[in-house]
A and B are shown apart, each in its own frame.
Chain A
Amino acid sequence: MHELSIAQSIVDIVGQYVPPEQAAAVRTVNVRVGALAGIVPESLTFCFTAITAGTPLAHAELAVDFIPYRVSCAACLTTSPAEPGLALCPHCGSAETTVLSGTELQVVDIELNSISTEHV
């Protein structure tokens, strides 16, 4: 259950891009989480909501793009989804695979509501 510390790291990163006076305008924080990252998306969004409650980010939504685990195989030249973590090609069983996706743990971007210039 380290989603809480991951959520805190996300809030810290948002703070580096959005000054406190604009934090209330943050609508969505988009993150990418791979199937092999050991993170439960629902727990992460729950923790994000919990730690932003009562802060200017209280209305910000954490949107998790869950990335499936995929491998490419040098033996049979296929690319396929596989059971997360399995290094063997699901087609031919070869171990000559490269992980294409599924280990991501990134903040992609931050969406802000437009701030009307007259209020600035």
Chain B
Amino acid sequence: MSVITVERKILEKNDEVARQNRELFANHDLFVLNLVSSPGAGKTTLLERTIESLKSTIKIAVIEGDVQTDLDARRVAKYNIPAVQILTRGGCHLEAHLVREAVTNLDLRGVELLIIENVGNLVCPSNYDLGEEMKVVVASTTEGEDKPLKYPAMFRNASVLIINKIDLLPYINCSLTALRDNALKINPSLTVFETSCTSGAGIGAWCDWLVEHARRKPAS
């Protein structure tokens, strides 16, 4: 018997394309976010509120990832911003090469902020680097306070947590404190925002943070 030593990362091909994406984004001075959550946490609605608030302040482009339909790209395209839909056709996550292809179909001139909305899934997208600056995970109050403990990898790999649907707290059995504490047990360095896309609560603070970070030039 003979043994061939390999010692290679299984996802190195994706990581390499992600590195190329990161380089491309840096060349365009783009601040890029990878927006992740379970299905129905409110990613697209949060995106709509964000675009509404920031449209006159900062130029935004969006890549929408879904298993099927271009419904989300149409929702954000209504705001007259560059938007492109990736269909994974069964795939449970976006991969770096899909983002690279999508970027070639986007007019990035003048764009400062690119938001990639991943497929709704709290497991698989955590493994795949897309070349983003950071992952933003959305957890809604209706999902319950234990999601960070049940899906730790996603919360560990994210830099920002948005706790959404806080307007529903009076009607459901979810402790905002417990949800936040559970997330911080997984990742103590998370920046946390609490939002409601219905009442508009917290959207302003989130948008201020976005503008500040999108305009902050990278150290390199």
State the A residues within 8 Å of B (CB): 1-2, 5-6, 9-10, 12-13, 17-18, 27, 31, 36-38, 83-88, 95, 105-114
Contact = CB atoms under 8 A, between A and B. Distances in A.
Contact of A110 (B4, B13, B156): B4
A9 B127 CA distance: 13
A108 B10 CA distance: 10
Nearest to B95: A5
A36 B8 contact: no
Interface string B177-192: 0000000011110000
Contacts of B124: 1-2, 38
Given A9-B13, A87-B185, A87-B188, A110 B3 contact: yes
Q: What size tier do the contact residues of chain B reach?
A: 20 to 34
B2 interface: yes
Contacts of B123: 2, 38
Contacts of A87: 156, 185-188
Contacts of B13: 9, 12
A109 B8 CA distance: 9
Contacts, number: 91
Interface string B136-154: 0000000000000100110
What is the interface of chain B mostly: helix, strand, loop, or mixed? mixed
A96 B152 CA distance: 18
B156 A105 contact: no
Interface of B: 1-11, 13-14, 91-93, 95, 123-124, 126-127, 149, 152-153, 155-156, 185-188
Contact of B1 (A1, A36, A114): A114
Contacts of B10: 6, 9-10, 13, 31, 105-107
B199 to A, nearest CB: 32
A18 B4 CA distance: 9
Given A2-B93, A9-B13, A109 B4 contact: yes
B145 to A, nearest CB: 15
20 contacts: A2-B92, A6-B11, A9-B13, A9-B14, A10-B10, A13-B8, A17-B6, A38-B153, A83-B149, A85-B149, A85-B153, A86-B149, A86-B185, A87-B156, A105-B9, A108-B6, A109-B5, A111-B2, A111-B3, A112-B3
A10 B8 CA distance: 10
A111 B1 contact: yes
Contacts of A31: 10
A112 to B, nearest CB: 5
Contacts of B127: 2, 37-38, 105
